[in-house]
Each structure stands twice: as C-alpha cells, then as structure tokens.
Amino acid sequence: MTLAWVVAPGEETGAPASAARSLSSYDLLNVPGSRQLVVGSADGHIVVYTMLAAAPNTPPTRVLGTVLDESVSAVVGGVVDTEEFVPTIVAATFSGKIMSLTPAAAAPGLRLLAQSGPGRPSTPTALGSTSFAAVEPSVVSGSLSAAHKAKLIDGLEKELVALRFRAREAHIKYVKMAGTELPVVRPALSSVNTSLQLDTSHAAYVLTVESAAILDSVLIQSDVPLEISHLALPGRSGAPAPVISRTSPPPGGAAKVLVTFDLKHTERRLSALVRSIEGQSGTLKVYAVMASEVKSAILTRLPIKPLSLHARVPSLPVPLDPTIASSLALSGDVALSQLFAWVSLALPNMPDRMGSVADGSLTYYFKSVYLGTALVVEMGPRPSTWARFTSESPSTISILREVIAREANTRSLQLSMQVEMGASAVSHVLNIIRPRLEHVLALSHKIAMLEGLKELAEAPDPKLEPELAATAANADALRTEWKDQASTADFLLGVLTDLYIDQAKFRGIDGRESVKAVVAAATEGRWDDVYAACP
C-alpha cells in the first residue's frame, strides 16, 4: 500500500492530539466531484473534511467542525428522519447520547437537530472561525414536521411515566425492607474511560478521565516522578477549573507523586498534562471517584515507559548525521520476537505485533517530543538476531541499553553490545538545552524582581532603566508564562544531569559526583565550563 496523505492529530482542530474513534464518508454538502469525511475523536471533536475525487493524493481540507463536552464513540453521515432529506451527521457519545447535526443554512457550521440519552446536555461549541447554532436538547429544529415533533414528545412522555413507575416500585420495596432488615446501599459504579495520549504540541501526555456519571474527584498516584497540571481544552473555556491538591508521599514509600483534582460535583470529564523524566518506568494509578452519597472509585493503571516522550513517526526527513548520532549495535542468540518485546518495554506506540521481515529487517522511526532528537530502530533475524539503535541523544541509547541488558540478564542470555558516540553528539544536545534553560532562568529572575519593581514603578518619580520598566509593565504576562514554565528549569537540569552521567558512562567514568559542578555551571550561565566538562 502507498501512503497518499496524512492529517496530523490536532493540526486542523487546534486541540491536543486525540485518537480518532470513528470515521464516516458521505456527501454532506452536495458539491459535485467531492465527498466529505467525518471524523469523531476521543476529545469530543467532530470534524468534517472535504476530499476531491479528481485529486485522491491531496490532503483533505477541514470545512466544518464542532466540539462536545464528552468523547465521541461513533459518527455516521446520511439522511435520518427528515422529510426534506437534509444531509445529517448522527453521533453517539460516551455517556450514551445520540445526536444529529446538520450543516447550518445561514453559516458554514453545524447545528444540532435533536439529541437524546442520559447525562447533561452536550452543547456544540464554536471551533476556530466556524459558527454554530446551538439548540436546547429538548427542542427539535424547524426542519422537522409537526407530526415528528409530536411523536418525539409522546415518546419522551411515555419514557417519563415508565421511570416514575419504576421509582415508586423501588420506594415501596425499600419501605417494606426497612421494617425487618437493615438495607445496605451498594455504590453505583459508573462507566469510566481513562486514556493517556502523547501530545506533541505540549511535549507531554494528555491524561483524560471521562465518566458517564458526575465525578467528585480524581486521585492520581505514581511510583515515578511526574509533572502534573490541569489542561483546559479548546471549546471548554467556560468549564470551572478543578481545585488541585498535592500531597507529599510518605518517606520510603513506593509513591512518588500524589495529586487530587476536586471537580466540585460539576464535571464528568477531566484533562491533565503529564510529563515524566525519561529513564524511569513505572505505573500511573488513576482513581475516578463518583459524586454519590456512598463514595466509590474506579481504578485504572497506566504504564509509564522509560522512553515515554518518544513518538513514533512514519519516517525521518533526512538521514541522521553520523557526527551527532550515537548508536548501539547488538547481536546474540535470542529470538527476534523476544527482542521486539524488549524494545516495546522501552518505547511507546510500538506495534502490538511484530511485522513481516520479508525484506530481512524491521525499521521504526521515533522522535522526542521534548528535545526533537530522532531515533532509528532496526532489527533482523539473520544470520543471528541483530539490532541497531541510532539516536541524536546519547541518553536515549543509554536507556535502551539498560532495558535490553536487564531483560537479557533476567533470562541468563548472552548479548554482544557495542556503543559508539558521535564526535559532536553531546554538544548537539547541549545546543538544544541551552537556549531553553537560559530563557526559563531569565524568566525566573524577572519573576523574583516583580514585587520590588512594582514598588519602584509606583513611586512619585520612578527612575527605571528601559529593560526594567518593560519587565514591570509586562508583569501579568510574565506571571502567566511562569505558571506554565515553573518546573521547566528542574526538568531541563534533569535532562542535563542524565546527559552528563550517560556520556561519562560510555567513556568508563562515574560522573555522579562531578555532575553537581556541571549543573551549577549551567545554572550560573557558565556554558564554556559545561561544554568543557561534556566533551
């Protein structure tokens, strides 16, 4: 099969990368020579692309879109229950609602025709420049006839009568039982969908917890260090922000991170940014607590892999430069399928099954969403199982070597491993880290001066240098930026620490003691000393 085109996640919608849950094709716009592709996503987006039949290799163009407050389970295009045969999109959501949307007549958007199902109404929201005509869920648009409206209302009334009858039966049963036995209330467990999706735009994972019932809170526990913060999704700016509580884990315990999101009994969905330091693997435990009188929680375990910030890509634009690339070559008496499984322990998004090796080898490409460094994974079965890992980051090679060596030692298998480091491999990574670290340290310095500058700026005759005056004038913008960057310096210094220790390890040196001087030099801006210490 030949690749015709690719639409990157979030590229058209402006939303975080999210899995497409459903695809459908239908002629929604009645444009000759074209069809529309409808995509429903896990983040609640419904996007319509148009494709030209005469140009099958041309990427589709987004023409319509909306975003719901819950994930989309399925979408389909067609003509549904309208006498005028209006093209319609029917969507099913996570909580069980079924809704129909159609292109708006007055503007290039989608409007809600009708919806039914449990839970709070999902109100379509504007996306980009697209306009939407939102309708109350109990109201059907004028495109339906009066007979259809009456039929719908009659059905809802019958459903309401049946619910009242069931509630009365349950109440009578409870009253009878209360006289002789002690009733025990069993917590009602709701369906919960928890996902962890790597988002290249934020260089972190998006953790999404979605429940069919209202959530009381979400508790997160991790046995590896993580950065966790709330993420407000596009189209949901009006949703109340959760209250975040961070608890120091007990000394000596397995937990390294304990965070609670209090949702104030108003939300069924939570999105958070999660970023881990590569090199450590563990488990992220997510407890979704329901907003009910009897508290109940559903636990989901999500794996954190050592190279968690690497995303698999179809290919690399250019071959890796050997002067800045490091490599690990290995061979040994081990099955190729076993070696593939070991690599999958270290890297996310590896295929569930090993592909065909008809051409003699398997090749996978990865890119670090944080540093932008590339990784090429090659392996094959002949004459004996072999593999070659090539990366622009020496730390990536070190992590792969540790994972594979640990698995081989556990099984008492002998592997031959050779590591080569490019002449400029370390300086290449330092060139990536340096401007980011300098920026965030400069930002930290400005934040520390803001209170003093405010007092000086409010003085009767303020005399501030232009640079300091600009800092005082931009105080709000600086605080907003610092809110997102506060932990970046520690994260980058952690990357620098790993880089120094790993390159020293490849040269047969223990760098764990001397790395403190390197970190101090970078913090103080003495980069000549940093480069000299990392040849």
Q: Does residue 15 lie within any of the structural domains?
A: no
On whether both 397 and 464 belong to a single domain, the answer is no
On whether both 453 and 515 belong to a single domain, the answer is yes
CATH number at residue 224: 2.60.40
Q: C-alpha angle 111/271/491, rounded to 5°?
A: 140
- Using the Cα atoms of residue 406, residue 407, residue 410 and residue 413 in order, give the sign of their dihedral: negative
- DSSP letters for 154-221: HHHHHHHHHHHHHHHHHHHHHHHHHTTS---PPP-PPPEEEEEEEETTTTEEEEEEEEEEEEEEEEEE
Q: Does residue 182 lie within any of the structural domains?
A: no
On whether both 389 and 437 belong to a single domain, the answer is no
Domain that holds residue 389: 310-421
Structure tokens at 335: 């099955």
On whether both 38 and 115 belong to a single domain, the answer is yes
Query: pLDDT 10s digit of each residue in the chain, 535 long?
Result: 666 777 776 555 444 567 788 998 888 887 777 788 899 988 888 888 888 777 777 888 888 888 887 889 899 988 775 556 678 888 998 888 888 888 765 445 566 655 655 544 444 443 333 333 333 333 334 445 677 778 888 888 888 999 999 988 888 877 776 666 555 555 556 788 899 988 888 889 999 999 888 899 999 999 998 889 888 866 555 667 889 999 998 888 889 999 999 987 778 889 999 998 899 899 999 999 988 877 888 999 999 999 999 999 989 988 999 999 999 999 988 899 999 999 999 999 898 888 777 677 899 999 999 999 999 999 998 778 899 999 999 999 999 999 999 999 999 998 999 999 999 999 999 999 999 999 999 988 888 888 787 777 776 666 777 787 788 878 888 888 787 777 788 889 999 999 999 999 998 888 888 899 999 999 999 999 999 987 6
- What separation in angstroms does the CA of 172 have from each of 161, 162, 165, 188, 523? 17, 16, 11, 20, 71
On whether both 320 and 381 belong to a single domain, the answer is yes
Q: Does residue 280 lie within any of the structural domains?
A: yes
Q: Does residue 151 lie within any of the structural domains?
A: no
Contacts of 21 (CB under 8 A, 6+ apart): 40, 41, 42, 71, 72, 73, 74
Q: Where among 237, 269, 304 does a domain terminate?
A: 304
Pairing of strands 110-116, 226-230: unpaired
Q: Does residue 184 lie within any of the structural domains?
A: no
- How far apart are alpha carbons 162 and 170 in whole angstroms? 13
- What separation in angstroms does the CA of 408 have from each of 316, 330, 334, 339? 30, 12, 9, 9
What values do phi and psi take at 275, rounded to 5?
A: -130, 130
Structure tokens at 526: 């003495």
On whether both 315 and 360 belong to a single domain, the answer is yes
